[in-house]
């Protein structure tokens, strides 16, 4: 499915990977967001550069590398987590936990060399730590993934 993405990929980063690590608890090899290029109180746009250096390409699939769908979902969730965590004071004191994934559609495969851009928006205001988002992932002008997800924003050690 071809469409005009609702963002400008040439915008400078709002958060680079170092700044992202100040918000998210994830670390390599399980950090799947390279930069944030747009964000306000209700939406966020993040970028993941897919390289052949990712360890999962050894087995997924030899001779025909495909970026795993579950990792795409995780990258989308991490992008949404940046928006959720930026909404609280002292984000280092919080984590986001998956609660639900719904309406997932993989539209095209993603391969090394692709750049995935995740565009997420809140479906409702964050209340009591419940975060509901809708997301679309693009490679160029092609939609590669769509999903709705729910997370719980909670203090660490609870």
Helix (H) or strand (E) segment spanning residue 130: strand 130-139
* Nearest-angstrom CA–CA distance, 87 and 122: 12
Which residue among 26, 60, 107, 121 is the active-site one? 60
- Give me the helices (H) in the chain, please: 17-23, 69-85
Phi, psi of 66, deg, nearest 5 = -130, 130
The question of whether 43 is a catalytic residue gets the answer no
Catalytic residues: 60
């Amino acid at each position: 499915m071809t469409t005009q993405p609702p963002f400008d990929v040439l915008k400078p980063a709002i958060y680079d990977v170092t700044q992202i690590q100040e918000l998210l608890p994830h670390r390599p090899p399980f950090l799947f967001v390279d930069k944030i290029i747009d964000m306000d109180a209700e939406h966020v746009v993040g970028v993941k550069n897919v390289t052949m250096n990712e360890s999962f390409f050894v087995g997924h699939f030899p001779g025909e590398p495909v970026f795993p769908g579950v990792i795409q979902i995780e990258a989308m969730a991490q992008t949404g987590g940046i928006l959720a965590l930026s909404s609280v004071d002292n984000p280092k004191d919080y984590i986001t936990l998956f609660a639900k994934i719904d309406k997932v559609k993989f539209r095209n495969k993603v391969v090394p060399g692709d750049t995935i851009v995740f565009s997420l928006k809140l479906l409702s205001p964050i209340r009591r730590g419940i975060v509901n988002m809708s997301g679309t992932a693009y490679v160029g002008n092609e939609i590669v993934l769509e999903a709705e997800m729910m997370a719980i924003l909670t203090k660490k050690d609870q």
